[in-house]
Structure 1
Amino acid sequence: MHDAELEELRRRKMAQLQQSQESQLQQQAMMEERAKQMEAERQAIMRQILTPEARERLAKVKMAYPDVAAAVEEQLLRLMQMGRIQNQIDDATLKAILRQISPQRREIKIERV
C-alpha cells in the first residue's frame, strides 16, 4: 500500500513538471513569434524609408557593427514616427547619418625615442 501511494505521488509530480515545462515552452514560443513579427515590421518600414542602395549599405554596416546599425535604425524609426522623413533616404544621406552616429576614431601614434 505504501509503494502504491509513493508511486502515485511521483506520477502527480511528474505530470506537474511536464505541465509547467510545456507552459514555459509555449510562452517562449509566443515571445519568439512576437519578436519575429516586430522585426518583420521594422524591415518593412526600412524598405519604405530607405532606397535599395541605402538598405544594402545598412546591411553591410549591420554585419560589421551591429550596435551602430541598430542605433541608426532606431533613429530612422523615431524620425519617421515624428513625421520628419518626407522622401526616401538615399545612400549619401545614410552615409552622413552613419558618420554622425559612429564613434570617432582616434589615431594612435607611437613615437620611439
Structure 2
Amino acid sequence: MSDPAPDVNDQPNEDQINAQKDMLLKQLLSSEARLRLNNVKMVKPDLANMVENYLLGLASQGRSPSQITDDQLKQILLSAQQPKKDFKINRI
C-alpha cells in the first residue's frame, strides 16, 4: 500500500495567494499609496514585499487604520529602509 499523493488542489497556488494579497492591499491603501507601492516594487522589490507583509500583518491583527494614505505609506517606507551609510573622504 502506498500513501495517497496529496491533492495539488488542496493548497492554494501562488497566483491565488497573490490575487488575495492584491485584493487586501486595494482595500488597505488609497489609490495614490497603491501607485507609490507599485513604483517602489519596480525599483526595490524586497522593500515593497517587506512593506506589503507588514501592512497585511497589521490588517490581520485588526490594527490598520481605515485606509492608508500616500503620506502614511511614505512614513512606513522610510522607517522600513535600512539607513544609508555615509562615507567621508578626507583629501590630504
Q: Shorter-chain TM-score category?
A: 0.7 to 0.9
Structure 1 residue 109: Cα displacement: 1.6
Q: How many pairs does the alignment contain?
A: 83
Q: Deviations over 1:44-70 (max 9, x none)?
A: 000000000000000111111111000
Computed over aligned residues only, the root mean square deviation of the Cα atoms, in angstroms, reads 1.4
More helix by share: 1
Aligned to 1:106: 85
Matched letter for residue 74 of structure 1: N
Matched letter for residue 79 of structure 1: L
**TM value normalised by structure 2:** 0.85
**RCO higher in 1 or 2 (8 Å CA, sep ≥ 6)?**
2
**TM value normalised by structure 1:** 0.69
Matched letter for residue 69 of structure 1: A
For structure 1, the residue ranges without an aligned partner over 5 or more in a row are 1-26
**3-state SS of paired residue (2:84):** coil
- In the alignment, the residues of structure 2 paired with residue 72 and residue 109 of structure 1 have an alpha-carbon distance, to the nearest angstrom, of 31
For structure 2, the residue ranges without an aligned partner over 5 or more in a row are 1-7
Matched letter for residue 94 of structure 1: L
State the structure with more CA Rg.
1
Q: Percent identity?
A: 39
Q: Deviations over 1:32-87 (max 9, x none)?
A: x7100100110000000000000000011111111100000000000000000131
Misfit runs of 4+, over 6 Å: none
